[in-house]
Amino acid sequence: MLNAQWLETFVVLCEEGHFTKAAARLNMTQPGVSQHLRKLEDQVGQALITRDGKQFTLTPAGEAVRDVAQRRRNEEIRLRQTLDGDDAGRGEVSLACSGSLAMLIYPRAISLMQKSPGLTVKLEAAPQVRVLEGVLSGLYDIGIADHRPTNPRLDGDLIGSDELCLLLPLTGPAEPDFADLERLGFIAHPDGFAYADELLSANFPNDYQGVDRLPIRSFINQIGQIPEPVASGVGYTILPRSGVDAYPGRQALACMTLAKPVRHDLWLVRRRGKVLAARTQRIVSEVIDAVSELSPLS
């Protein structure tokens, strides 16, 4: 490898066309400039200049070395600009998570974009498999999963948990039993059946006979509207705390106190060895803050 310091001295010498001016610009002595030139010529194995009194001209080898040195200098300038440009308020960040978490996180992302017009946040509500596959392929910078990633090319950090809430109308019984739930009917949704198997089987093992036996009062696949019929007194449902906290009518809902709560761990997932840009780290901080504020219903 050609010595970077000697190359820079040579480029400045070529630009100034004079040893004294080059020395002044580099804050060196003239003999120091000459010494760098000789060392570079020794390394190349050819003369780089032809002297004519106080003037000089470049040899063909000198022209080639000058061009290489200038390209290296330009590449370094671009590299430094890229590093200096790692601005937390500029660029694009992509992330994926469950629908309920997306409802909780996106208002924070909007707030960040309002403060930083150069920031673009792309948030996708996706199934767990797609979250992990998307991070692995580079489609997403980060993802939030409900379990530690097992793929050796992924890293995961446990950032909190999301409790499953059995949501009831405020007008219902103070301490409902399974028969009360049966009379209300289940507000089903795409994840609701899996949630029911987890939560109802743990807390009503003698009564719960499986999702195929649940009286279904309604079905809806829009995450933001799932609590609406419950708040209106039509049925009960099961949602993660994040989806409940993001619902504007949260105070119209009651969360049943259960003997055996069920919580899903939340893992922040990224590709192994990937250094996160400042803007991505900023989003990560918001995600962690949002998760830490998941609180019980009063």
DSSP string, 184-246: H-EEE-TTHHHHHHHHHHHH-TTT---GGGSPEEEE---GGGTHHHHHTTS-BEEEEHHHHHT
* 3-31 mean pLDDT: 90
Residue 275, SS3?
coil
Q: Do residues 23 and 33 lie in contact, with contact meaning Cβ atoms separated by under 8 Å?
A: yes
One domain, residues 20 and 151: no
Quick one: pLDDT at residue 295? 56
One domain, residues 286 and 235: no
One domain, residues 286 and 210: no
**298 inside domain:** no
Task: Report residue 162's pLDDT band, with 50, 70 and 90 as the boundaries.
Answer: very high
Task: Give ∠ CA 41-47-49 in degrees, rounded to 5.
Answer: 105
Please say which residue of 22, 50, 84 terminates a domain. 84
* 190-206 mean pLDDT: 94
**52 inside domain:** yes
Cα dihedral sign for 258, 144, 197, 216?
A: positive
One domain, residues 180 and 117: no
Q: Residue 43 sits in a domain of what CATH number?
A: 1.10.10.10
**135 inside domain:** yes
Q: Residue 202 sits in a domain of what CATH number?
A: 3.40.190.10
One domain, residues 145 and 65: no
* 242-249 mean pLDDT: 89
Model confidence at 84: pLDDT above 70? no
Quick one: pLDDT at residue 51? 87
* 234-250 mean pLDDT: 91
Residue 171, SS3?
coil
**80 inside domain:** yes
**31 inside domain:** yes
One domain, residues 183 and 232: yes
Residue 7, SS3?
helix
Please say which residue of 84, 107, 124 terminates a domain. 84
Dump pLDDT digits (tens) for 258-290. Answer: 999 999 999 999 999 888 888 999 999 999 999
Quick one: pLDDT at residue 298? 40
Q: Which residue did the predictor score with more confidence, 151 or 171?
A: 151
One domain, residues 104 and 147: yes
192 vs 225: CA distance, rounded Å: 13
Model confidence at 110: pLDDT above 90? yes
Please say which residue of 47, 67, 84 terminates a domain. 84
**297 inside domain:** no
Model confidence at 198: pLDDT above 60? yes
Residue with tokens 């609406």: 228
Residue 159, SS3?
strand
**32 inside domain:** yes
Mean pLDDT, rounded, of the chain: 90
Quick one: pLDDT at residue 176? 87
- Which of 111-120, 173-182, 201-210 is least confident? 173-182
Cα dihedral sign for 150, 93, 266, 214?
A: negative
Strand ranges inside the chain, DSSP E: 49-52, 55-58, 91-97, 119-125, 142-145, 154-169, 186-188, 216-219, 237-240, 253-255, 263-271
How many domains is the chain partitioned into structurally? Answer: 3
Spatial CA neighbour of 46 closest among 63, 29, 68, 70: 63
Range of the structural domain that residue 218 is part of: 163-260
Percent of the chain at pLDDT > 70 equals: 97
Cβ neighbourhood burial of 130 (10 Å; 0-12, 13-18, 19+): middle
Task: Report residue 127's pLDDT band, with 50, 70 and 90 as the boundaries.
Answer: confident
One domain, residues 59 and 107: no
One domain, residues 157 and 276: yes
**171 inside domain:** yes
One domain, residues 135 and 112: yes
Quick one: pLDDT at residue 82? 65
207 vs 200: CA distance, rounded Å: 9
One domain, residues 189 and 237: yes
One domain, residues 173 and 255: yes
